[in-house]
Amino acid sequence: MPHFAYSFEGYDPAIHVRASGRELNISPKAAREICNTLKGMTLSKGIAFIEKVEAMEVPVAFRRHKKKVGHRSELVGFPTGSYPVKAAAKILTVLQNLRGNCEFKGLDPERVRLIHASAKAGRVIKDYVPRAHGRSSPNFHVLVHVEFVAREAQ
């Protein structure tokens, strides 16, 4: 089994709470943009946002990987965006796990703010598609690690 570590420095178990989803089968591009949007939100506001994305009511702004992404009129400040439903569903389970960790530690989930949200590439699943004349084309798929660290606001 691999040993997974958090990328957050300065973790104090007394004041911080954390949760992670390892090797999720979601888009790294969508996971990165969702995490950047969630950073700085309160936990309850972040969960509500992800539920709206999953219901395709609110789009997520795609700021870095935006070449083939359509424009959304409901986005303010940045034109390109999308509705990453599959990634939102997986990230929602991690956020609900974070809420459970808050309750277990005795922190108030309504006052907890996400101070660290990151998505990074995990293991690569290698697959090859057979083509004509004995050739093949790679069909690689990158799994994603998602991690959140939160702190109760004073």
Number of compact structural domains in the chain: 1
Q: Give the torsion sign (CA, 49, 54, 58, 60).
A: positive
Query: What's the pLDDT tens digit per position in 40-53?
Result: 999 999 999 999 99
Residue 31 phi, psi (nearest 5): -65, -40
What are the pLDDT digits (tens) for 69-117?
889 988 888 899 999 999 999 999 999 999 999 999 999 999 999 999 9
Query: Taking all residues of the chain, what is their mean pLDDT, rounded to a whole number?
Result: 94
In the chain, count H helices and then E strands.
3, 7
pLDDT of residue 80: 93
Comparing 68-77, 116-125, 132-141, the range with the smallest average pLDDT is: 68-77
- Identify whether 4 is part of a domain: no
- Asked, for residue 145, whether it belongs to a domain, the answer is yes
Domain that holds residue 71: 16-152
Is the separation of the CB atoms in 148 and 94 below 8 Å? yes
Q: Please state, in angstroms and rounded to a whole number, the distance separating the CA atoms of residues 89 and 30.
A: 12
Mean pLDDT value across residues 13-38: 95
Question: Residue 20: helix, strand or coil by DSSP?
Answer: strand
* Residue 103 located in a structural domain: yes
The domain that holds 23 is classified in CATH as: 3.90.470.10
